[in-house]
Structure 1
């Protein structure tokens, strides 16, 4: 459970690093946006690396780790997009989420 929580925290930082500059530094030169993002990404790595190491030590495959991370990315990104950037909700996000659940099923089914 701890590695998944760390992945959620890491994703919050990475989403902010990737897209936060569009809201907070939209008039700044690109190099300032890059520095802003790199500074935030350092925190992301501080959570992502331990999480992936823990999952690997728990015998998760690389595919299982990556697909789980992608599901968490969608869980973090959709509220970020809707609340901070006031983007409209589309049913396509639900379909994308269901596709990812299918991915989760296929990468974990041989574990049963």
Structure 2
């Protein structure tokens, strides 16, 4: 893969790590006040935007908008499964795997056409 094709993917992976932490990291701290976790999540998400927006700007042209969105969704699910297992201790089930396989099949359709 060329750097023009790979850079957006790498940026989307990094942005999704930030967003996953922003959206789900607070679940490890159930006693924290809601207002605090919303503000902390918003602050973390700020950095996600600094990665996601350039990823899409750089990637558009190499990829279509639909392909960029598909990459983002596949990356999101992949990052989430790892985060869920490593941070929250929730291991994926066979149903999770099957559901993601269906999503992967849909993603394959986007890239074939």
Structure 2 length-normalised TM:
0.88
Q: Which residue of 2 aligns with 1:32?
A: 36
Unpaired stretches in structure 2, ≥5 consecutive residues: 1-5
1:19 to 2, 7, 24: 24
**More off after superposition, 97-106 vs 45-54:** 97-106
The separation in 2 between residues aligned to 1:108 and 1:94, in whole angstroms, is 21
Q: Which residue of 2 aligns with 1:87?
A: 90
Corresponding residue pairs, total: 108
Does residue 61 of structure 2 align to residue 57 of structure 1? yes
Does residue 15 of structure 2 align to residue 41 of structure 1? no
RMSD: 1.2
Superposed CA deviations along residues 70-112 of structure 1, whole A, max 9, x for unmatched, are: 10011100011011111133011211221122122211112xx
**More off after superposition, 36-45 vs 82-91:** 82-91
Structure 1 length-normalised TM:
0.89
2:99 to 91, 96, 101: 96
1:66 to 69, 76, 79: 69
The separation in 2 between residues aligned to 1:16 and 1:38, in whole angstroms, is 11
Unpaired stretches in structure 1, ≥5 consecutive residues: none
